[in-house]
């Protein structure tokens, strides 16, 4: 997932982008024109947009499963995007429940695609992917384990996704 999403972001004109990251600060070193970070749950995107039409890219990694109203959250993200802007979202699928503060929802690639489309993103402008394998799923049964690539296989088994990601383009202004 990290490799795929980093490649997607590196394919954008980073130096020209105004970026918002919701929870985390992983993306701050990509050389964006501007970068703003907010924390969930202090800022709950399902409650409303932070700013209308202000960002070229909004990133929400491992946040969407925690919000109580994911359709509202995704709709608000679309409203925060400039026309042509992109939303990068990652979320767990076959991963144990982790309340922080709550854990509500899981999506397959198809489910995430429909959630984004229901929020107003054009389904033709949504790219999805997933990553996981049986060993990774088993590793999370007992305790949280750090996944070290030299110890474990990074082979992807599409029927055992641990995480699902999507990038959606906003081809029209938010309503």
Q: Over 50: is that where the pLDDT of 107 sits?
A: yes
- Going 155 to 58 to 110 to 140, the CA torsion angle's sign is positive
Confidence at 161, pLDDT banded by 50, 70, 90: low
Where is pLDDT greater, at 170 or 95? 170
Specify the pLDDT at position 167: 84
Domain extents in the chain = 2-169
**116 is written with which tokens?**
């984004």
Each residue's pLDDT tens digit, 110-125: 999 999 999 999 999 9
Q: 28 φ, ψ to 5°?
A: -65, -20
Residue 20 burial (C-beta neighbours within 10 Å; 0-12, 13-18, 19+): buried
Helical ranges in 59-172 per DSSP H? 70-80, 109-118, 134-139
Compute how many other C-beta atoms are within 10 angstroms of the C-beta atom of residue 123.
11
Task: With CA atoms as reference, report the closest residue to 24 among 6, 42, 40.
Answer: 40
DSSP, collapsed to helix, strand or coil, labels residue 160 as coil
Instruction: Count how many Cα atoms sit within 13 Å of the Cα of residue 47 in the half-sphere of its side chain.
Output: 6
> If you classify domain 2-169 with CATH, what class do you get?
alpha beta
Q: pTM for the full model? A: 0.86
CB 83 within 8 A of CB 124: no
Please answer whether residues 80 and 54 qualify as being in contact, where contact means their C-beta atoms are separated by less than 8 angstroms. yes
Residues 28-87 have pLDDT tens digits of 999 999 999 999 889 999 999 999 999 999 999 999 999 999 999 999 999 999 999 999
């Amino acid at each position: 997932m990290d490799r795929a999403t980093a490649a997607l972001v590196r394919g954008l004109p980073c130096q020209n982008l105004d970026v918002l990251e919701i929870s985390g600060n992983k993306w701050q070193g990509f050389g964006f024109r501007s970068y703003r970070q907010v924390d969930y749950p202090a800022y709950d995107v399902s409650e409303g947009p932070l700013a209308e039409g202000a960002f070229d890219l909004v990133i929400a990694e491992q946040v969407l499963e925690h919000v109580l109203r994911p359709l509202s959250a995704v709709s608000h993200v679309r409203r925060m995007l400039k026309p042509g802007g992109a939303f990068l979202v990652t979320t767990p699928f076959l991963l144990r429940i982790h309340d922080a503060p709550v854990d509500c929802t899981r999506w397959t690639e198809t489910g995430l695609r429909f959630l984004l489309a229901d929020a107003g993103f054009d389904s033709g402008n949504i790219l999805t992917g997933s990553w996981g394998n049986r060993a990774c799923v088993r590793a999370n049964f007992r305790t949280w384990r750090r996944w070290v690539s030299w110890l474990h296989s990074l082979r992807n088994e599409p029927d055992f996704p641990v995480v699902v990601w999507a990038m959606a383009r906003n081809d029209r202004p938010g309503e």
